[in-house]
C-alpha cells in the first residue's frame, strides 16, 4: 500500500521502524486529525492566549490568539488597552463578496457584446443550482468581462454568506465555465478558480490622546515612524509583519485561512504602485490618529471550522453568534493594536527589551530541569534582566550548587 493509503497508526509505525521517535497520541485524537488532512502522523498544538478587552464599534470582545509568541499576545493587550481608554476602535467593512476568475480562449469571430448578453441568465441558472448558498444570503452577484487578444477574462463576484467560501466558489466557477464553454465562439476553457485578489475590505480608525501613549514627543515619534514606513519598503515590510503577527494569531484561533489573507494583504500593501506600510499614524491637534485597512475574506462556518472542537471553543470565547463581518472587524482592530504596541516600543524603550523578557519562558522551557528549578531560573533572569540562553544555564548551575 502507498503511504497515503495506510491508516495513521501504520504510518506512525513505519516512521518508528526508521528510527523516528514520535510523541504519544491516543487513537481517538489521531483519527480526528486524519479526517482533517492528508498523510497524518501527528498533530501540532499552539497555546491560545486572550486579549481581555477589545472594544470595537462599542462592543467589548474577549479575543483568542493562537501563537507560540508571548510578545504578540502581550502587545495586542497593550494596544487594545490604550484603544479602550480612548473609546475603542471604529470599523467599517465592505462585504460584497469574493472574486472568482474564469479565463476562456475565443475564436477570431468572437463578439463580446453577444457574449455579455448571456450573463443575466447564467447568474439566474447558477443561483438556482446553488440555492443552498442563496438560502443563507449568498450567491453570484456580478460578472464583469474583458478581452485581451484571444483570451476572455471573466471576474465573478460571489457572496459566500458567513463562510470563507473557497470550495463553494470553485464549484460555482466550474459550473459557470462549463455553461460558457459551449458558447459558439468559445474554443476552450483555460481555467476557473477562486482569486485571492483583495476583497471584503475592513477599515479601522482610532483617535488617541497623546497622554495615553506617553506624551506628545512619543506621539510625534510614532507619526514619524509611520511616515518612514509609507515611503521606505524596508521599514514598511517589517511594520506589516508586526500587524500580521496579531492578524494571523486570531485567524489561527478561529480556523481561518492565514495563507489567503497573507497573499491578499501583500498585494494590498502595493496597491498604490509601491510597497508600503498597511497602517498610517498622524498627529493632529494633540490627538494621534491611526488607520489600517485589510482585505479579510473570513468565515465563521464551514470547512474545518465546524469540525474542530478547539476552534469551536474559541468561538464560544468570542461569542457564538459573531458574524464574519464582526470577526473581520475584530481582526483588523487587533492588527492595529499590535502595530501601535510595536511602534510604542520602538519610540521608547526599544523593541528588544520587552520581547526578550517575554521570550525568557521559552528559553527556560528548553532546560533539562524540573519545574521548581525552571521557576527559580526564570525569577533570576527577570531579577537581573538577563534573558539569554547562557544566563539560564548559569543560573541553573548556581541553583543546583546551592542545594
**241 catalytic residue (yes or no):** yes
Within 62-190, residue ranges assigned H as helices are 70-85, 112-116, 119-129, 131-135, 166-181
* 401: CB partners within 8 A, 6+ apart: none
Q: How far apart are CA 122 and CA 227, in angstroms?
A: 48
**159 catalytic residue (yes or no):** no
Q: How far apart are CA 236 and CA 326, in angstroms?
A: 27
Query: Of these residues, 69, 159, 230, 248, which one is catalytic?
Result: 69
Q: How far apart are CA 317 and CA 14, in angstroms?
A: 40
| CA Rg value for the chain | 25
H or E segment to which residue 330 belongs: helix 324-347
What is the number of other CB atoms lying within 10 angstroms of the CB of residue 93? 17
N- to C-terminal Cα separation, the chain: 56
Query: Of these residues, 78, 168, 189, 355, which one is catalytic?
Result: 355
Query: Of these residues, 34, 232, 257, 373, which one is catalytic?
Result: 257
- Could you give the C-alpha distances from 96 to 51, 91, 200, 298, 375, in angstroms and in order? 29, 16, 7, 12, 52
Q: Residue 65, by phi and psi: left (phi above 0), alpha (psi -120 to 50) or beta?
A: beta
Grid cell listed for 247: 492578524
Closest CA to 347 of 241, 240, 215: 215
Q: How far apart are CA 108 and CA 112, in angstroms?
A: 11
Q: How far apart are CA 73 and CA 49, in angstroms?
A: 6
In degrees and rounded to multiples of 5, residue 279 shows phi and psi of -100, 165
Closest CA to 123 of 89, 158, 167: 158
Query: Of these residues, 135, 241, 286, 310, which one is catalytic?
Result: 241
Q: Which residues are known catalytic residues?
A: 69, 241, 257, 355
Amino acid at each position: 500500500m502507498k503511504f497515503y493509503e495506510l491508516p495513521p497508526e501504520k504510518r506512525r509505525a513505519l516512521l518508528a521502524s526508521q528510527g523516528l521517535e514520535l510523541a504519544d497520541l491516543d487513537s481517538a485524537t489521531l483519527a480526528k486529525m486524519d479526517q482533517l488532512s492528508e498523510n497524518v502522523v501527528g498533530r501540532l498544538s499552539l497555546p491560545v492566549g486572550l486579549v481581555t478587552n477589545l472594544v470595537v464599534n462599542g462592543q467589548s470582545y474577549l479575543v483568542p490568539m493562537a501563537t507560540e509568541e508571548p510578545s504578540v499576545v502581550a502587545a495586542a493587550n497593550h494596544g487594545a488597552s490604550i484603544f479602550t481608554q480612548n473609546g475603542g476602535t471604529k470599523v467599517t467593512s465592505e462585504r460584497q463578496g469574493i472574486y472568482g476568475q474564469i479565463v476562456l480562449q475565443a475564436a477570431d469571430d468572437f463578439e463580446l457584446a453577444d457574449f455579455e448578453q448571456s450573463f443575466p441568465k447564467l447568474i439566474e441558472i447558477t443561483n438556482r443550482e446553488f440555492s443552498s448558498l442563496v438560502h443563507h444570503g449568498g450567491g453570484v452577484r456580478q460578472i464583469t468581462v474583458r478581452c485581451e487578444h484571444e483570451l476572455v477574462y471573466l471576474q465573478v463576484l460571489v457572496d459566500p454568506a458567513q463562510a470563507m467560501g473557497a470550495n463553494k466558489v470553485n464549484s460555482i466557477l466550474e459550473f459557470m465555465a462549463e455553461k460558457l464553454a459551449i458558447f459558439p465562439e468559445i474554443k476552450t476553457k483555460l481555467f476557473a478558480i477562486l482569486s485571492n485578489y483583495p476583497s471584503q475590505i475592513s477599515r479601522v480608525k482610532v483617535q488617541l490622546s497623546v497622554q495615553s501613549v506617553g506624551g506628545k514627543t512619543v506621539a510625534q515619534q510614532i507619526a514619524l515612524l509611520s511616515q518612514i514606513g509609507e515611503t521606505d519598503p524596508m521599514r514598511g515590510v517589517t511594520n506589516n509583519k508586526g500587524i500580521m503577527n496579531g492578524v494571523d494569531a486570531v485567524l489561527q484561533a478561529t480556523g481561518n485561512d492565514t495563507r489567503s489573507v497573507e497573499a491578499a494583504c501583500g498585494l494590498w500593501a502595493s496597491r498604490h504602485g509601491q510597497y508600503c506600510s498597511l497602517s498610517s499614524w498622524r498627529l493632529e491637534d494633540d490627538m494621534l490618529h491611526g488607520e489600517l485597512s485589510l482585505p479579510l475574506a473570513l468565515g465563521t462556518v464551514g470547512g474545518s471550522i465546524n469540525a474542530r472542537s478547539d476552534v469551536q471553543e474559541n468561538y464560544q470565547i468570542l461569542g457564538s453568534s459573531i458574524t464574519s463581518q464582526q470577526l473581520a472587524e475584530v481582526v483588523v482592530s487587533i492588527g492595529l493594536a499590535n502595530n501601535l504596541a510595536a511602534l510604542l516600543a520602538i519610540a521608547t524603550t526599544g523593541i528588544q527589551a520587552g520581547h526578550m523578557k517575554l521570550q525568557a519562558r521559552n528559553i527556560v522551557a528548553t532546560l533539562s530541569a524540573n519545574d521548581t528549578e525552571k521557576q527559580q531560573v526564570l525569577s533570576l533572569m527577570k531579577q537581573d534582566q538577563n534573558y539569554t540562553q547562557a544566563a539560564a544555564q548559569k543560573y541553573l548551575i548556581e541553583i543546583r550548587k546551592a542545594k
